């Protein structure tokens, strides 16, 4: 019945998200969710919002949330856009700011949703290769383009581009919109939000899914010049007036306000990450330096797909990408200390068994 499909649907290659298992009891280190629950203040704010008020539409402009984000980063609410997860904010940025005559540039190894949006909106793009060490080389972006987008830290490598280099990228591209997707910046980077007042072409996108433990609530935001924000609002108001429900707005405000819980949990994750990276290196893995809540690691002997399958047999899920250059890597989300210990026990069994076979 696919003759019912529109031409655009025929040519789409949709994004494939990591598995959300239906069975309980698995150790889920595959989609970079936060292992700690949301702030208790978020939970009580959500409970307070449940009631008769849900018969009413939410504030279409989510003013309370824009103000909370603005207060958090020392910008004005007119510099803030909010959406149903940062994926939606990204989608509006692709349509509203990144669709131009010249090709869009992004790294060859990056968030795999970017080429999907290009397919959806018919945007030409060029994938700019990372260096052999999987680093972004800013000089490689000095070519004609209709915009630039990159995650910082990059996904799935976890590597951080220092803020000075982000600024160099902006200096070299004054006439293109530069979108910095900071889904993981709270785990070790410095936000480029500090640069938006000096660079009107910069749009910074963040999410509450990772560092604020709210992947299930679906809230993301963008910060940039009011003219860039206006473009996103025009797309949003041509698509869905109410992308955020009352629960999402209320919960997200509480999450932005509870700085102490945010600090505490992100510090725990960064500490666990360094411990986990050390243990993986002890097992012989090459682990890229990570400023995110995951590590990207490859074993010199074991095939990554095989290793992921063996871990899965032991009820641990990690992410493996069948993509050139990175097919021997695993992306492992930083869990709690207990979850990481379980991962290491499983690896010791799997790799130890192999070592025994090799030694015999
Ligand atoms: C997780 C992630 C997002 C999407 O986050 P949501 O707000 O949950 O939609 C965006 N960009 C990158 C690089 C991510 O890893």
Looking at the DSSP assignment, which residues form a beta bridge with residue 294? Answer: 333
Domain with CATH 3.90.1150.10 in the chain: 24-37+260-358
Which of 152, 181, 207 is the best mutation target for the ligand 1 pocket, counting ligand atoms within 8 Å of the beta carbon and taking the most?
Answer: 207
Shortest CA distance to 238 belongs to which of 62, 96, 117?
Answer: 96
Q: Which residues pair with 28 in a beta bridge?
A: 317
Residue 359, pLDDT > 60, answer no
- Mean residue pLDDT of the chain comes to 96
In whole angstroms, give the CA distance from residue 69 to residue 173: 27
Is residue 149 helix, strand or coil?
A: strand
Nearest CA among 262, 237, 206, 204 for reference residue 85: 206
Contact criterion met (CB below 8 Å) for 117 and 94: yes
| pLDDT of res. 19 | 84
Verify whether ligand 1 is closer than 6 Å to residue 83 (CB atom).
no
pLDDT tier for residue 353 given thresholds of 50, 70 and 90? confident
The CATH number of 40-257 is: 3.40.640.10
Q: Where are the beta strands (DSSP E) in 11-133?
A: 27-29, 80-83, 104-107, 125-128
At 354 the pLDDT is: 52
349 compared with 20, residue with greater pLDDT: 349
Phi then psi dihedrals of residue 116, to 5 deg? -65, -45
Alpha-carbon distance 234 to 244, whole Å?
16
Residue 208: which of 237, 160, 244 has the closest Cα?
244
Query: Does residue 151 have its Cβ closer than 6 Å to ligand 1?
Result: yes
Q: Is the CB of 110 under 6 A from ligand 1?
A: no
**What's the pLDDT score for residue 82?**
98
Question: Are the CB atoms for 217 and 207 separated by under 8 Å?
Answer: no
Cα distances (Å, whole numbers) of residue 121 to 11, 78, 85, 160: 11, 26, 19, 29
In what order do the strands lie in the sheet containing 329-333?
Answer: 286-287, 294-298, 329-333
Query: Of all protein residues, whose CA lies closest to atom 15 belonging to ligand 1?
Result: 183
Closest atom of ligand 1 relative to the 184 alpha carbon: 15
- Predicted pLDDT of residue 356: 46
User: 89 CA distance to ligand 1 centroid (A)?
Assistant: 10
pLDDT tens per residue, range 60-104: 999 999 999 999 999 999 999 999 999 999 999 999 999 999 999
Considering the four listed CATH numbers 3.90.1150.10, 3.40.640.10, 3.30.420.40, 3.30.465.10, the one that applies to the domain covering 24-37+260-358 is 3.90.1150.10
Q: Is residue 355 over pLDDT 80?
A: no
Per-residue pLDDT tens digits for 189-214: 999 999 999 999 999 999 999 999 99
Of 15, 30, 83, 86, the one to substitute when testing ligand 1's pocket (max ligand atoms within 8 A of C-beta) is 86
Q: How far is the CA of 340 from the centre of ligand 1 (A)?
A: 22
Q: What is the DSSP string of 295-346?
A: EEEE-SSS-HHHHHHHHHHTTEEEB----TTTTTEEEEE---HHHHHHHHHH
- Rounded to the nearest angstrom, the distance between the alpha carbon of 222 and the centre of ligand 1 is 12
Q: How far apart are the first and last CA of the chain?
A: 57
High-pLDDT (> 70) share of the chain, %: 98
CB 273 within 8 A of CB 338: no
Which pLDDT band holds residue 115 (cuts at 50, 70, 90)? very high
346 CA to centre of ligand 1 in angstroms: 28
Confidence of residue 342 (pLDDT cuts 50, 70, 90): very high
Task: Determine whether the shortest distance from the Cβ of 87 to ligand 1 is under 6 A.
Answer: yes
Mean pLDDT of 265-287: 98
CATH 3.40.640.10 domain range(s) in the chain: 40-257
Q: Decide: 206 and 85 in contact? Cβ < 8 Å.
A: no
The CA distance from 39 to 260, in Å, is 9
Q: What are the respective helix, strand and coil percentages of the chain, to the nearest 5?
A: 45, 15, 40
pLDDT of 358 reads 46
Query: Separation of 319 CA from ligand 1 center, angstroms?
Result: 15
Instruction: Say if ligand 1 is within 6 A of residue 220 CB.
Output: yes
Give the mean pLDDT of 248-277. Answer: 98
pLDDT confidence band for 148 (50 / 70 / 90): very high
Edge-to-edge strand order for the sheet containing 202-207?
A: 80-83, 220-224, 202-207, 178-181, 148-151, 104-107, 125-128
Whether the CB-CB separation of 351 and 284 falls below 8 Å is answered with yes
Q: Is the CB of 215 under 6 A from ligand 1?
A: yes
pLDDT value, residue 103: 98
pLDDT tier at 360, thresholds 50, 70, 90: very low
- Rounded to whole angstroms, the Cα distance separating 162 from 79 reads 23
Name the closest-CA residue to atom 12, ligand 1: 183
> How would residue 323 be classed by pLDDT, with cut points 50, 70 and 90?
very high
Q: Residue 237: phi, psi to the nearest 5?
A: -80, 0
């Amino acid at each position: 019945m696919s003759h019912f499909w529109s031409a655009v649907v025929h040519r789409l290659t949709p994004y494939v998200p990591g598995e959300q298992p239906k069975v309980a009891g698995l150790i889920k280190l595959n989609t970079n969710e936060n292992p700690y629950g949301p702030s208790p203040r978020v939970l009580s704010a959500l409970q307070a919002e449940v009631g008769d008020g849900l018969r009413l539409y939410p504030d279409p402009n989510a003013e309370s949330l824009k103000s909370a984000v603005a207060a958090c980063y020392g910008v004005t609410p007119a510099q803030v856009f909010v959406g149903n997860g940062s994926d939606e904010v990204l989608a509006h940025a692709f349509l509203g700011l990144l669709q131009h005559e010249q090709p869009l540039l992004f790294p060859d190894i990056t968030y795999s949703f970017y080429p999907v949006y290009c397919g959806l909106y018919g945007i030409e793009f060029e994938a700019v290769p990372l260096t052999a060490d999987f680093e972004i080389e800013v000089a490689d972006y000095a070519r004609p383009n209709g915009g630039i987008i990159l995650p910082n830290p990059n996904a799935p490598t976890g590597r951080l581009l220092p803020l000075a280099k982000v600024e160099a990228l902006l200096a070299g591209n004054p006439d293109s919109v530069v979108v910095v997707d900071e889904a993981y910046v709270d785990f070790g980077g410095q936000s480029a939000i500090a640069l938006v007042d000096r660079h009107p072409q910069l749009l910074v996108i963040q999410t509450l899914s990772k560092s604020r433990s709210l992947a299930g609530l679906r809230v993301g935001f963008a910060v940039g010049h009011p003219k860039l924000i206006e473009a996103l609002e025009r797309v949003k108001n041509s698509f869905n007036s109410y992308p955020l429900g009352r629960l999402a707005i209320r919960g997200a405000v509480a999450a932005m306000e509870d700085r102490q819980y945010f600090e505490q949990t992100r510090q725990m994750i960064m500490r666990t990450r360094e411990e986990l990276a050390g243990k993986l290196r002890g097992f012989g893995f090459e682990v890229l330096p990570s400023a995110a809540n995951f590590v990207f690691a490859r074993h010199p002997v074991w095939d990554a797909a095989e290793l992921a399958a063996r871990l899965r047999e032991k009820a641990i899920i990690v992410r493996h990408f069948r993509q050139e250059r990175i097919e021997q890597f695993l992306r492992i989300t930083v869990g709690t200390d207990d979850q990481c210990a379980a991962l290491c026990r499983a690896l010791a069994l799997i790799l130890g068994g192999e070592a025994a076979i090799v030694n015999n």
